[in-house]
């Protein structure tokens, strides 16, 4: 798989998993908000996470042509390394992860692409460190973390974190990440990934979040319509 394409898929996974990584409504003790206090609350509230579903808005901005494209749909996440993103508008597209297996299904062209994350584990770990069930120590290990302040977003008081990848090679793909953490639920309500020095970015926003509802195995099965063309791009 080409590096740029693989990175874009990892970002999609990270955004979905990141939204599920902090699940309970833990309360922070009164006092000044700091990087350590935010990561600490994320650690505590990750403990009871089982599953999550939400509406997602995914925005891609391309600086050179000043173009913004937006996809909307739903995400479903489970603690056992399973997730599904079903984009509905403007075109249908499904991103499915089951363990190390990744599928990109595009109904419009009747095609599904299959990948194996395990073959790119070093790169995957860099991004998945932000994801499901990962503790603050995983973020600290892979990123330099700063608190940029607190902002109001969609009626939520949020702590805005900025993450700079420690690995110089990874910074060529994604030079920084911003995460808006809801201070009531301690989960991200928005994430923004900046691509190198191009000025391009991905942004995902989460709404109507439902935590710890039962999501059956069938939701995560790679079960495509008969006649779907299956491709396995070589890594």
C-beta atoms surrounding 60 within 10 Å:
16
In this predicted model, what pLDDT tens digit does every residue of 78-90 receive, in sequence order?
888 888 999 999 9
CB-based contact 194:176 (threshold 8 Å): yes
102: pLDDT strictly greater than 80: yes
Q: How many CA atoms lie within 13 A of 232 on its CB side?
A: 4
Report pTM: 0.83
Closest among 191, 173, 174 to 182, alpha carbons compared: 191
- Report residue 183 as tokens: 């201070």
DSSP letter assigned to residue 21: S
Distance CA 121, CA 105 (A): 22
Distance CA 16, CA 210 (A): 13
- Report residue 164 as tokens: 């700079």
Distance CA 52, CA 131 (A): 13
Residue 120: per-residue pLDDT: 67
CA distances from 210 to 51, 74, 86 (A): 8, 11, 16
Distance CA 78, CA 57 (A): 20
210: pLDDT strictly greater than 70: yes
CB-based contact 161:178 (threshold 8 Å): yes
Tokens 């000043």 found at: 66
Q: How many CA atoms lie within 13 A of 103 on its CB side?
A: 24
In this predicted model, what pLDDT tens digit does every residue of 50-81 receive, in sequence order?
888 999 999 999 999 999 999 999 999 888 88
**Domains defined for the chain, CATH in brackets:** 3-231 (2.50.20.10)
Give kind and range of the element (H or E) at residue 15: helix 3-20
Closest among 76, 70, 25, 69 to 55, alpha carbons compared: 76
């Amino acid at each position: 798989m080409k590096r740029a394409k693989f990175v874009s898929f990892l970002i999609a996974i990270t955004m979905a998993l990141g939204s599920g990584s902090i699940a309970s409504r833990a309360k922070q003790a009164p006092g000044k908000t700091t990087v350590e206090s935010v990561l600490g609350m994320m650690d505590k509230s990750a403990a009871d996470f089982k599953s999550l579903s939400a509406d997602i808005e995914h925005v891609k901005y391309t600086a050179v042509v000043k173009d913004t494209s937006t996809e909307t749909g739903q995400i479903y996440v489970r603690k056992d390394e399973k997730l599904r993103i079903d984009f509905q508008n403007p075109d249908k597209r499904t991103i499915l992860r089951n363990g190390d297996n990744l599928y990109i299904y595009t109904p419009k062209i009747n095609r599904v692409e299959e990948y194996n994350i395990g073959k790119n584990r070093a790169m995957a770990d860099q991004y998945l460190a932000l994801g499901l069930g990962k503790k603050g120590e995983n973020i600290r290990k892979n990123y330099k973390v700063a608190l940029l302040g607190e902002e109001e977003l969609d009626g939520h008081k949020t702590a805005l974190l900025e993450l700079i990848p420690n690995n110089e090679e990874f910074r060529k793909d994604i030079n920084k990440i911003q995460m808006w953490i809801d201070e009531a639920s301690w989960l991200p309500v928005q994430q923004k990934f900046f691509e190198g020095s191009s000025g391009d970015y991905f942004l995902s926003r989460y709404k109507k979040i439902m935590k710890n509802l039962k999501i059956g195995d069938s939701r995560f099965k790679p079960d495509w319509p008969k006649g779907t063309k299956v491709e396995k791009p070589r890594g």
